[in-house]
Amino acid sequence: MSDARLKEDPAGEDLAHERVNPSAERPLGAIMDARLTRREVLTSLVLSPVLATFAELVRGGLAHAEPAAGGSTLGFEELEGRLEKFHRVARGYDAKVLLSWGQGVVSGAPSFDPYAQTPDAQEKQFGYNNDFIAFMPLPRGSDHSDHGLLCVNHEYASPELMFPRDPPSEPQPSPEERLQERERDRSKVEVMLAAHGHSVVEIKKTGDVWQTVPNGTYNRRITTRSTKCRLSGPAAGHDRMKTFEDPDGLWVKGTLNNCSGGVTPWGTVVIAEENFDFYFSGKPSGSELANHLRYGIKGKPRWNFGDFFERFDVERETSEPNRFGWLVEYDPYDPQSVPVKRTALGRWNHEGAAMVLNKDGRVVVYSGDDRVYEYIYKFVTKNAFDAKDLAKNKDLLDEGTLYAARFEDDGTLNWRPLVFGQGRLTPAFGFHSQADVVIEARRAADLMGATPMDRPEDVDINPVTGRVYASLTNNDSRDIDRLDAVNPRYDNRFGHIVEMIPPGEGKDADHAADSFKWEIFILAGNPRDKKHRAKYHPDLSKHGWFACPDNLAFDKQGRIWIATDQGKRQGETKIGDGLWVCDTTGPGRALTRHFFSGPLGAEICGPCLTPDNTTIFVAVQHPGEEKGSNFEDPATRWPDFKNGMPPRPSVVAIVKKGGGVLGT
């Protein structure tokens, strides 16, 4: 078997562009827009007349309506946007590679040899396609910024860049040769499963330079291949979670497609299972047919893991997909801790998990569903966080209320509860318990009238204002007759960022409230190209624009750091994915500046700041992932640039030369 069968869809994220939401539920805005003529929509640069009226209603609306003075709090000289085979950072900063795919993580890891990779070696080494990063200071509970644990997700594996090409097959292979080929392919699939998951790596800074601590005592790998995870919350033990391997429905082998994540107020890490549907083969049927179709499982996976492991074939193991698509919590300070899939928080293509301690002590978790026309959700814990007795918070994420977001055109955001027995979430609509609601959270949100969004990626919370920001990365299937005020561009190729505004400000913000306000913060793309219909601060430089916002982070001053993932659109915009930053309030609001640029083909993930804001870590994911790029002839050999060495996804540490707070 060739790699072509290991990876059926070389077009990267194309499956995320496939609409699986059949919901006829349309928010009020869509109905209003349906009254507009096609000409009216086409001739407006950004907003239709109805939407402009709406924008006036919501206190200044778009970023361009803010005062125009160029009073940004940022001081660095920004980068020019272009495509390069290497990474670049703003003048006066250093961006050094800290951790790369294949580097040893746990003791006994063999040195990296991409020509002789084995599943057992990969199980001990840093995984592939690093995404989310959390910096967890050492010792626990401190705010140290020069010593800590780097907790890193590994979202997926790219076989065409990981493995040398196989020798050509014999035209008529003997049974023995066919067996050898199959064994080789099975080994590759196992390497890929071991390259997924998560790594914990102890790191230390001396002077300006970060280094890994060899064989750090907290170091561990969590993988899809072998790490046993516990199920908790309403779906644990339910019949729909039972499999041949786990007849009680209480544990799962591995966590899958870990994209972004978050950190709890009690110092654990939550990692999100995103595109789990990419892995399941077989035609769904029977009682789970509609459920699997709603989650995009229809017998056309991106990777044919079901050829080697029957749990990834829904014809042989119907319930297995129900055991992925959750938020998974683990304790990085306890290398023996068992990761727990917290099912109360719902199941979908979880991009991440942004957490905040609400003013009443409850914890609120925001999470987007990264698929076109899917939703933004939040979860509010039932009980309050106990700062004095950390052990009491252990299972705080098992009880609470899940909500889906409905964005009204008048600038109101209503959170619709997804609670069994309320609204249409009843036996008449096929829900028999809260377990059904969380397993089929997408359908529950459909029935409760949530607003279909332009691919919700990361959500993050401004620590100064309490406002919540969501990246809507792009949706080129957004039709003119499905526009609404919060998704105002048809053929939305470059994405936008929405600002969700709870009642109250800063520490007094009430994230548990049923009703928020909302505004559009930035419409991404190049504002100098009218076809992009982009909007930022009017003083934006020619280098300050970006496309396809993905992961977000805030610094202590409330400035937003925006990482991008354009995928195949790098060829269209001719700028690399990277990191941009701007103020969210004051005269520099939405005046983004270009800070870091990744190598060709890579998206930029993380980003993560140390508590003192003097280092930002970024994850450079899938460098060299371009059409036709492969192990022998990659689009870039970043970061090693050595003949024969393929590109390696890596974490980069960025500091100011001579020290100092980032952005100045």
Q: Please give the residue ranges that form the binding site for Ca ion (CB under 5 A).
A: 259, 457, 550, 565
Among 3, 274, 277, 436, binds ligand FEO (CB under 6 A): 274
Residues 370-429 that bind ligand FEO (CB under 6 A): 370
User: Which token pair is 234?
Assistant: 């309403």
Residues 530-589 that bind ligand FEO (CB under 6 A): 550
User: Which token pair is 540?
Assistant: 């934006």
User: Which token pair is 182?
Assistant: 């199959």
As a whole number of Å, the CA-based R_g of the chain is: 23
Q: How far is the CB of 570 from ligand FEO (least distance, A)?
A: 16
Give which of Ca ion, ligand FEO, none residue 484 binds (C-beta under 5 to 8 Å, depending on kind): none
Work out whether 259 is an interface residue with ligand FEO (CB under 6 A). yes
Q: 351 and 469 in contact (C-beta within 8 Å)?
A: no
Residues 468-487 that bind ligand FEO (CB under 6 A): none
* Environment class of 287 (CB within 10 Å of its CB; exposed 0-12, middle 13-18, buried 19+): exposed
Identify which of 657, 467, 493, 489 has the alpha carbon closest to the alpha carbon of residue 560.
467
What does the angle CA 12 – CA 281 – CA 352 come to, to the nearest 5 degrees? Answer: 50
Is the Cβ of residue 288 or residue 457 nearer to ligand FEO in the bound state?
Answer: 457
Is the Cβ of residue 564 or residue 615 nearer to ligand FEO in the bound state?
Answer: 564
Contacts of 92 (CB under 8 A, 6+ apart): 76, 77, 656, 657
Distance (Å, whole) CA 148 – CA 84: 32
Q: 256 and 275 in contact (C-beta within 8 Å)?
A: no
Distance (Å, whole) CA 157 – CA 153: 12
Is the Cβ of residue 274 or residue 331 nearer to ligand FEO in the bound state?
Answer: 274
Give which of Ca ion, ligand FEO, none residue 246 binds (C-beta under 5 to 8 Å, depending on kind): none
Residues 340-379 that bind ligand FEO (CB under 6 A): 351, 370
Q: How far is the CB of 548 from ligand FEO (least distance, A)?
A: 10
Distance (Å, whole) CA 368 – CA 409: 20
Q: List the x/- string, 448-467, binding to ligand FEO by CB under 6 A.
A: ---------x----------
Distance (Å, whole) CA 557 – CA 465: 10
Give which of Ca ion, ligand FEO, none residue 155 binds (C-beta under 5 to 8 Å, depending on kind): ligand FEO
Distance (Å, whole) CA 95 – CA 657: 10
Is the Cβ of residue 104 or residue 576 nearer to ligand FEO in the bound state?
Answer: 576
Is the Cβ of residue 236 or residue 604 nearer to Ca ion in the bound state?
Answer: 604
Residues 204-243 that bind ligand FEO (CB under 6 A): none
Distance (Å, whole) CA 453 – CA 369: 9
Identify which of 302, 263, 262 has the alpha carbon closest to the alpha carbon of residue 279.
302
Q: How far is the CB of 605 from Ca ion (least distance, A)?
A: 6
Give which of Ca ion, ligand FEO, none residue 160 binds (C-beta under 5 to 8 Å, depending on kind): none
Contacts of 368 (CB under 8 A, 6+ apart): 350, 351, 352, 374, 375, 376, 377, 453, 456, 457, 458, 459, 470, 471
User: Which token pair is 294?
Assistant: 């709603």
Give which of ligand FEO, Ca ion, none residue 331 binds (C-beta under 5 to 8 Å, depending on kind): none
Is the Cβ of residue 544 or residue 549 nearer to Ca ion in the bound state?
Answer: 549
Is the Cβ of residue 127 or residue 544 nearer to ligand FEO in the bound state?
Answer: 127
Give which of ligand FEO, Ca ion, none residue 364 binds (C-beta under 5 to 8 Å, depending on kind): none
Q: How far is the CB of 474 from ligand FEO (least distance, A)?
A: 11
Residues 128-147 that bind ligand FEO (CB under 6 A): 131
Q: How far is the CB of 87 from Ca ion (least distance, A)?
A: 17
Is the Cβ of residue 355 or residue 372 nearer to ligand FEO in the bound state?
Answer: 372
User: Which token pair is 423?
Assistant: 């609204």
Is the Cβ of residue 1 or residue 259 nearer to ligand FEO in the bound state?
Answer: 259
Distance (Å, whole) CA 26 – CA 190: 43
Contacts of 252 (CB under 8 A, 6+ apart): 228, 229, 231, 246, 323, 324, 341
Give which of Ca ion, ligand FEO, none residue 583 binds (C-beta under 5 to 8 Å, depending on kind): none
* Interaction site with ligand FEO (CB under 6 A): 131, 155, 259, 274, 351, 370, 457, 550
